[in-house]
């Protein structure tokens, strides 16, 4: 494994999430067969949502709202939820001041918060509420909590998920992602990170009725799966599994994130989650400069992420 400073891994993860999201936005909802005929190889203009190249979606915006909340208020789910509402109502941390995409579960939860519901009770708790809308934004919560005791670390991730997705499966998926984040930030290889996550996650949730949903992530040799076995819709387990598969079967940031986006369907979120993990693995310098140059609001992002790193990411992380 190549050695990077923790700050470079953190920046890689944050920027990588936005890059993956922006690569996926123009082809969101398009089937995999379209990507076979016309694979994404770089930043595209317009497409599904008619947005300029380098535009992130709700995924990136809610991730950025989370970063800002953590910087200004520490871990405060009520503040985080209110910022999500400001995104929905006023375009906070959108790329161009307008919203062009929002998940059904997220919209419902934010409306409840607007009406006075406590943020941690707003997320749906039905088995059909297990979309990927909390997984896509959870990375900053994990990064900010790396120095915490494991119980607190996992509890905060679960509580942050519950703002929009309160079912046990969604919360556990976010914790699985958080444990991957912890391993990659420590400089472990992808396989060692997955092995450590499997041990820690399996021990923590061994008595949960939802553990069966994680059977493949915990036991299968995912790296040997054919692309046809990888699903890429909006279900949280599909997004998490696809992102891990992309990380295991590629050798660079660009290869990983393009593989994720070219799975088709929920391209922005698969790209966002896979891009975040790949950014942690390969560091800031592993992201192609031409993609970084296309990303919107570069000065605002730099200011925000430097503040985040200064506050939460130490040399010893």
User: Does 269 show up as a binding residue in the annotation?
Assistant: yes
- CA distances (Å), origin 310, targets 82, 127, 204: 24, 39, 31
For 133, the 3-state DSSP assignment is: coil
CA distance 312 to 65: 16
CB 205 within 8 Å of CB 217 = no
User: Does 76 show up as a binding residue in the annotation?
Assistant: no
The token pair that represents 246 in the structure block: 């992309």
User: Does 207 show up as a binding residue in the annotation?
Assistant: no
Angle between helices 190-204 and 168-185 (to 10 degrees): 140
The values of phi and psi at residue 131, to 5°, are -75, 180
User: Does 59 show up as a binding residue in the annotation?
Assistant: yes
User: Does 267 show up as a binding residue in the annotation?
Assistant: no
User: Does 192 show up as a binding residue in the annotation?
Assistant: no
Question: Which residue is listed with tokens 């996926």?
Answer: 24
CB 253 within 8 Å of CB 16 = yes
CA distance 223 to 189: 14
CA atoms lying within 13 Å on the CB side of residue 93: 23
CA distance 165 to 188: 29
Nearest to 266 by CA among 103, 83, 151: 103
CA distance 20 to 147: 27
CA distance 52 to 295: 10
For 13, the 3-state DSSP assignment is: helix
Instruction: Pick out the residues of the known binding site for Mg(2+).
Output: 57-59, 266, 268-269
Instruction: Pick out the residues of the known binding site.
Output: 57-59, 266, 268-269
């Amino acid at each position: 494994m190549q050695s990077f400073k923790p700050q470079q891994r953190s920046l890689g993860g944050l920027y990588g999430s936005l890059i993956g999201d922006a690569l996926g936005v123009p082809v969101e909802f398009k089937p995999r067969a379209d990507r076979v005929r016309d694979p994404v190889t770089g930043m595209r203009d317009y497409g599904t949502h008619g947005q300029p190249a380098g535009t992130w979606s709700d995924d990136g915006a809610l991730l950025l709202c989370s970063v800002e909340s953590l910087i200004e208020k520490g871990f405060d789910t009520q503040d985080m939820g209110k910022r999500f509402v400001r995104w929905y109502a006023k375009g906070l941390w959108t790329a161009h001041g307008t919203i062009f995409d929002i998940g059904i579960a997220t919209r419902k939860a934010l409306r409840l918060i607007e009406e006075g519901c406590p943020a941690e009770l707003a997320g749906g708790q039905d088995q059909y509420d297990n979309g990927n809308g909390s997984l896509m934004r959870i990375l900053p919560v994990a990064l900010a909590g790396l120095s915490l005791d494991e119980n607190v670390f996992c509890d905060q991730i679960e509580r942050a998920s519950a703002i929009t997705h309160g079912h046990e499966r969604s919360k556990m998926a976010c914790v699985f992602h958080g444990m991957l984040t912890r391993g990659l930030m420590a400089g472990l290889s992808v396989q060692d990170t997955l092995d450590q996550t499997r041990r820690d996650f399996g021990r923590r949730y061994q008595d949960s009725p939802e553990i069966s949903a994680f059977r493949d992530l915990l036991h299968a040799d995912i790296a040997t799966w054919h692309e046809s076995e990888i699903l890429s819709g909006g279900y949280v387990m599909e997004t998490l599994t696809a992102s891990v598969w992309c990380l295991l079967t590629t050798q660079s940031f660009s290869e990983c994130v393009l593989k994720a986006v070219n799975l088709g369907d929920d391209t922005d979120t698969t790209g966002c989650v896979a891009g975040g993990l790949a950014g942690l693995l390969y560091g800031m310098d592993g992201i192609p400069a031409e993609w970084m140059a296309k990303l919107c609001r570069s000065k605002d992002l730099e200011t925000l992420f430097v503040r985040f790193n200064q506050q939460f990411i130490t040399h010893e992380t």
